[in-house]
Amino acid sequence: MEQERTFWQSLRDAWGGITHSLKTERNMRIHATVATVVFLTAWLVEVSRWEWVALTFAVSTVMAAELLNTAVETTVDLFMSTYHPLARIAKNVAAGAVLLMAVNALVIGVIIFYPKLMHLFKVLLLNYFN
């Protein structure tokens, strides 16, 4: 039996899982880019404390879903290298979880940013014509 691992070894392996997904999954890189843009915009338009909570939660759930999707895809590929309807269902359902979380994050993003960006747009427009 394997020797008991330290907390730091587990943490390093978990981080290795995230970096693996970033290196191998294009969608994960898209999520990371969108997350960076969202956090930068949130900082620029000075969102409230609770809006930070909602955005952080939305972004992390999408990325966590993508990590689980990668885990499902990898596990399916390990056991099924040829076409199988059940493999298709497993992968599609895991991808569906990512889609659901992404739509949820989009709705939260629109609710938070739309009024702020519209306000900013109006201020810039008024300043331009005055």
Ligand X SMILES: Nc1ncnc2c1ncn2[C@@H]1O[C@H](COP(=O)(O)OP(=O)(O)OP(=O)(O)O)[C@@H](O)[C@H]1O
Q: Which stretch binds ligand X (CB under 6 A): 29-37, 49-57, 81-89, 105-113?
A: 81-89
51 is in an annotated binding site: no
Name residues whose C-beta falls within 8 Å of residue 86's C-beta, 6 or more positions apart in sequence: 80
Q: How far is the CB of 22 from ligand X (least distance, A)?
A: 13
Contact 38, 56 (CB under 8 A): no
Instruction: Supply 30's token pair.
Output: 């898209």
2: which DSSP letter? P
Calculate the CA 58 to chain-centre distance: 7
Residue 66 annotated among the catalytic residues of the structure? yes
Q: Does 91 bind ligand X (CB under 6 A)?
A: yes
Q: Does 75 bind ligand X (CB under 6 A)?
A: no
Member of 45, 54, 72, 80 binding ligand X (CB under 6 A): 80
The residue with its CB nearest to ligand X is: 88
Member of 73, 97, 104, 116 binding ligand X (CB under 6 A): 73
Contact 70, 28 (CB under 8 A): yes
- Using alpha carbons, list the distances in angstroms from residue 106 to 54, 60, 70, 100: 11, 13, 21, 10
Site size with ligand X, rule: CB under 6 A: 12
Q: Does 83 bind ligand X (CB under 6 A)?
A: yes
Hey, which residues are catalytic here?
Answer: 66
Residues of this chain that interact with ligand X (CB under 6 A) are 25, 27, 69, 73, 80, 83-84, 87-88, 91-92, 95
